Amino acid sequence: MTERITLDTTIHEPAPDASEADVVLFALERTRAQFAWKVGGLDAAALHAPHPPSAMTLAGLVKHLALVEAQQTAESFGGPGHGHEWRGYDGPDWEWRSAADDTPEELYALWTGCVARSRAALAELLATGGLDQPSRRDPGDGPVPNLRRVLADLHDEDARHVGHADLFREATDGLVGEDPPQRGQDPVAAPVDA
């Protein structure tokens, strides 16, 4: 039997006097932890199960958000390029389709690796200035968005898909709740949305 892979779902609360950047990063990290909780610990059958009428799967969500992290890292944070994981990319919806061929181990490693690279590139960028600094994104003919705007977009994309993962996970095994249980909480008595 294959061992189930759990993902890090730790949420670090910001200090009471946290800066705006710290609160923005907290919101992003909390959403990542929520996503990890909703998609983590599943076998291939659960990750690849369809949830009609949607064509989405949890596996597709994991690979899609990995690609979003890789794109933001490369295009907005000045981090490393997309990497070898994306060599087969052939256009829109590729990540959704190709996820069907990936194992849980591959999907979880891809997402956690992309998140780690995103965190590192973002930390380096924030060390040189705050949220008002321009991102590294080339918008073509338009203005360069500041880092605040790029992080708002990244958070919104993650949060949108946490909603999908929430519904799919409940349909898979009944797991419900808003935030993953934290150390000292009973994982069986996870908080349930009111």
5 found inside a domain: no
Average pLDDT of the segment spanning 148-155: 96
* pLDDT band with cut points at 50, 70 and 90 for residue 88: confident
pLDDT at 23 over 60: yes
8 found inside a domain: no
pLDDT at 188 over 60: no
- What is the residue range of 158's domain? 20-189
| 150-156 contacts, C-beta under 8 A, 24 or more apart | 150/72, 150/76, 150/77, 151/24, 151/25, 151/28, 151/122, 152/24, 154/28, 154/68, 154/69, 154/72, 155/24, 155/27, 155/28, 155/31
- pTM score, two decimals? 0.90
Q: Number of structural domains, the chain?
A: 1
Q: What does the alpha-carbon distance between residue 74 and residue 66 come to, in Å, rounded to a whole number?
A: 12
At 26, which CATH number?
A: 1.20.120.450
